[in-house]
Amino acid sequence: MPNPLEEVLSVNASFYEALATGDFDLMQKVWSNTDDVTCIHPGWGSIFGRQSVMRSWETILQSPPQIACTEPRGFVSGDSAYVIAYENLGDGRLIATNLFRLEDDQWKMIHHQAGVARPASTAQPVSQTSIH
């Protein structure tokens, strides 16, 4: 029996392969074909719906970023899963959350969001209060 976490991490790796190589066909295969997908690229507004999300990736993949995914951590709960990872772009570093849903026995991305992360060398302060 396949390990769901390994499968999710594999699809996540395929997403970053598509992003780094400009492979739009692979990007389309990673994403759900449903219209309830969403995406928030750094510095962009929210994007809703498969057609709009795919159009955004088509634009980005015309000049693929030199990106490397590091430290992916995945979590699975039933038919839902997510991965939190760092996206390294030269001297820049983003942190991303990728959401997945099990559809017809395949994990498909339903949401991607990335934003600026603190530099890896910055110590993380310990907070005694909860923000959320």
Expressed in angstroms, the distance from the first to the final Cα of the chain is 37
Q: Which residue has the higher pLDDT, 49 or 122?
A: 49
Model pLDDT, residue 128 = 44
> Are the CB atoms for 100 and 83 separated by under 8 Å?
yes
What are the angstrom distances between the C-alpha of 104 and each of 28, 40, 59, 79? Answer: 16, 26, 29, 10
Q: CA 21, CA 16: separation in Å to the nearest integer?
A: 8
pLDDT on residue 120 = 61
What's residue 121's pLDDT?
57
Distances (CA, A) of 129 to 20, 41, 126: 38, 29, 9
Q: What is the pTM of this model?
A: 0.87
The per-residue pLDDT for 67 is 94
pLDDT tens per residue, range 23-69:
999 999 999 999 999 999 999 999 999 999 999 999 999 999 999 99
- With a cut of 80, say whether residue 119 has pLDDT above it: no
pLDDT of residue 90: 86
Question: How does pLDDT run across 72-104, given as a tens digit for each residue?
Answer: 999 999 999 999 999 999 889 999 999 999 999
Structural domains present in the chain: 4-116 (3.10.450.50)
